[in-house]
Structure 1
C-alpha cells in the first residue's frame, strides 16, 4: 500500500501494554478501514510480552511505533500521544478491541458536517467468548449531558476528538481521576464543545478479566462518583452532602432513608428536574413521568409510617399531579401501613 499523497486527517492513538493476545486482530481492523488517509500511532508502554515484535512486524507506512522503555501507565501514555499528534482529528482505540470497517469514515464525515461537535463516539458491541450485546448510548449533546449526571455514556474506544478543541483548552487526561480518566475528560469537554454519539456500532469491545473495568471495578466506581459530583456542579445542581447516595438510591429504586431523608430526596428530584429540562433540554413530560415513578417508589419504601408519607408524596408536583394509579396505590399502602419491599 502506498503512502497517501495528502497529510493524514486522523491519527488513531493506540496504546499497547502486553497486548499480544489480541493485538494483530485489532491492528488488522484499523489497517483495513474504508477511509485510508489516517496515521496509526502505537505507543508500546514497556510491554514484556511480544507486543513490540508484533508492532514492528507490520509493514504499513501509516503505522508508527513509539516505545516507552518502562511502563508509564495508560494516562501518561495517552497524554504523551496527544502531544505528538499533528492531525486535525484524533481517534482512540485499544489493543484488544476491533474497529468496524467504516468507523473512521463515518465519524470523520459526521465531524466535518458538525463543526460545533468536538467529541464524537458511537454505539459499540460488548462481547465475550459466549455472548454479545449492542450498547446504544444517547446520541445528542443534550441527552449525553443529562446522562453524564448518572454515568459515563461515551465509550473511550469509540471516540474521535477535534484536536483544535484539545489544544485551545489544553484538554488532557487527568491522573487524579485514574480508572475514570475518560469520563472526567468528557465532562470537561462538555463545558467547551458539543458532544455526540453516532447511532451505529463503531467498535467491538472485548470484555475479559484483564479489562480495567474488571480489574479495578471498586476504584473506578469511587472515581466515577467524584466525576458525577463535578458534572452536577457544572450544571448548577449544587450537590449537598448525601445527595450522591440519595441520587443512586432513587434511580436504583432502592431508597433506604427515613422521613427526613425522604424530604431531601424530594428536594433533589426537584432540582434535577429543573436542570434536566432547562439545561439539558429533556422532554418535560417524559422526565415528569419518570420522576413520578421514582418518587412513588421512594415514598412506598416508607409507607409503613402511614399518612405522613402520603402527605409528603402529595407535596411534590410529580406526586400530586402524577399517575393517579400511583397515588391510589400509595394511599392504600399508607392506610394499611404496608411498605414496598
Structure 2
C-alpha cells in the first residue's frame, strides 16, 4: 500500500500574463527548490502569447494551472487565487523572476520558528542584462514599520504569508491602490501581525521596461503617497495637509519652503522622532543625529534670512543639542548674510 503524499504546507502563487520570454526560467527555479513539499499554482490571466502552452508542457505533479478566459488584471487574479488556496503558507513570485534554490526552505524554517510573524520577505538581487545590485531592506518588524513611513521595503516577489492571518483579518489586495497594492497590504498587515525580511537573497528580480514599476511609475507614486499617509496616521503621526511635501523635501535635503513652512518642518521632524523612537524602537541617538543633519540642511537653505533662521534652528532640540559643527556653520552663514546686507 502506497503512503499518500503529505499535504503541501506552501502554495506558491504565480500569476502569468504574456510571460513567455522568462517563464520557463521562473518555473525551473521553483521546481528545483531544496524544499519540495509545496504546490505551485500558476494562473494564466488571459495570455495571448505562448505562456499557457509553456505551463501545460510542464509535467511536474506539484504544478496546477488555472486559466482565466479573459484578462482579469493582477489584483483580481491574486485575490481570486487567495480564496482558493488552503495551504498553511502562501508564497508569491512573478513570472519573470528567479527564486534562489533555498528560498522556500529558509522562509518556512523562519516562519515555523517565529509564529508571531505573519509576513516574511527578504533581500533580493535587482538585475538587468548589464548590471545587478543586491537590495537589503530592513529585517526586523520595528525597522520595517518605521521604513514603511518612507517607502515600500518588502519586495512583493519575495514574500511568504501565513494564511491564518490572511483569513482571520480578511486581508486581500485593494484595487483602490493599483500599482502599489502590495505596499498597501503590508501596511494593513503591520496592524495585525509582525513583519520580517530575511537577510538572505531570496529572489533575483529582473528589471526591464515591461515591469509595472517602469510602465506605471507615475500612477504608482500617487498610490504610494496615499499609502504613506495611511501608515503615518496608523502610527499616530496625524499628518496635516502639506506634511507629505515637507517630509519629501526634508529627507531629500531640498527644502523649498519659507519661514512659516520651516516652522512646520521642525514640528513634523519632532513628531516623526517621537513615533520612530517610541513606536518603532529606532535608535534614539542615530535617529537624532540624522534629524540634526536634515534640520541643519533645511535651515541652511534659508540662511539668507539671517538670525531669524538661526533662532528657529535653536528652537528645536535637533538644533541646540545637535552637532556643534552644524550650529557654528549655520551661525556663520546667517551672520554673514547680515553683514553683506
TM-score (norm 1): 0.98
Aligned to 2:178: 178
**Structure 1 residues not aligned, in runs of 5+:** none
What is the deviation of 1:120? 0.1
Aligned to 2:18: 18
What is the deviation of 1:336? 1.4
Asked if 2 retains the 8 angstrom alpha-carbon contact of 1:175 and 1:181, the reply is yes
Aligned to 2:332: 332
What is the deviation of 1:334? 0.6
**Structure 2 residues not aligned, in runs of 5+:** none
Aligned to 1:108: 108
Counterpart secondary structure, 1:337 = helix
1:61-76 correspondence to structure 2 within 5 Å: 61-76=61-76
User: CA distance change for structure 1 residues 121 and 3 in 2, over 3 Å: closer, same or farther?
Assistant: farther
1:83-122 correspondence to structure 2 within 5 Å: 83-122=83-122
- Rounded Cα–Cα distance in structure 2 between residues aligned with 1:318 and 1:239: 20
Matched, 1:298 2:288: no
1:1-341 correspondence to structure 2 within 5 Å: 5-337=5-337
Deviation string for 1:272-305 (max 9, x for gaps)? 0000000000000010000000000000000010
What is the deviation of 1:337? 2.3
Deviation string for 1:248-289 (max 9, x for gaps)? 000000000000000000000000000000000000001000
- Rounded Cα–Cα distance in structure 2 between residues aligned with 1:301 and 1:205: 39
What is the deviation of 1:5? 1.4
What is the deviation of 1:4? 7.5
Moved over 3 A (4+): none
Asked if 2 retains the 8 angstrom alpha-carbon contact of 1:3 and 1:62, the reply is no
- Rounded Cα–Cα distance in structure 1 between residues aligned with 2:63 and 2:26: 13
- Rounded Cα–Cα distance in structure 1 between residues aligned with 2:272 and 2:323: 20
- Rounded Cα–Cα distance in structure 2 between residues aligned with 1:58 and 1:84: 22
- Rounded Cα–Cα distance in structure 2 between residues aligned with 1:300 and 1:37: 59
Q: Superposition RMSD on alpha carbons, in Å?
A: 1.1
- Rounded Cα–Cα distance in structure 2 between residues aligned with 1:111 and 1:336: 59
